[in-house]
Amino acid sequence: MIIPMIVFAFSMCATPGPNNIMLTASGANFGFRRTIPHILGIELGMLVHFTLSAFGLGVLFTRFPVIHTVLKIAGSCYLVYLAARIMFSKRKENSETETKPLNIFQAAAFQFLNPKAYIIGITAVSSFTEPGETYARSAILVILVFGIVCIPSISIWAGFGSVISRFFRNNSIFRIFNFVMGGLTAASIVLIIL
């Protein structure tokens, strides 16, 4: 079960989604090192999210579907805010007007509004845990595997953003990049609505 779990974790964490689009933009705007708290916040939020999924969050959504609807609306609003933040980010050289990257707590909190996080958590827990007496042990294993696989998988995106920013010598190109990344972040709202 470990190999399929690792493959699933990598494919879920490394594929495009709101987190990875925002990490690419953050890497480009602030550099890899200043994006590390954002990476760690995603990890922290996902671990808490997986723990909650493993021990009852899915049941809560089944019993009270309105909670899921409220989270969809809140997640959509927060993504619009983040998209605007990305679109209007200034270059790191412009320190007097510089925006700041997400901190560890903001990135962790976003996981509770991120629809992909719910899908990943509930799918992983339902697919890779064992029923009965071994459930808790298998749930902890799922959480550990995702915890180990997540950071390198999402760091690729922040690194990519950091590398491509070197090619944006012109501020106009940099602004276009930020508008595209902000637009992609806003477009991920479609994933929430569907």
- Give 85-113 pLDDT, tens digit per residue: 778 776 655 544 567 889 999 999 988 88
| pTM to 2 decimal places | 0.79
Contact 29, 101 (CB under 8 A): yes
Q: Is the dihedral of CA 161, 185, 109, 42 positive or negative?
A: negative
d(CA 151, CA 38): 11
* Residues 83-103: b if buried by 16+ CB within 10 A, e if exposed: bebbbebbbeeeeeeeeebbe
Q: Give residue 16's pLDDT.
A: 83
* Token pair in block for residue 139: 């749930």
Q: Find the mean pLDDT for residues 67-95.
A: 72
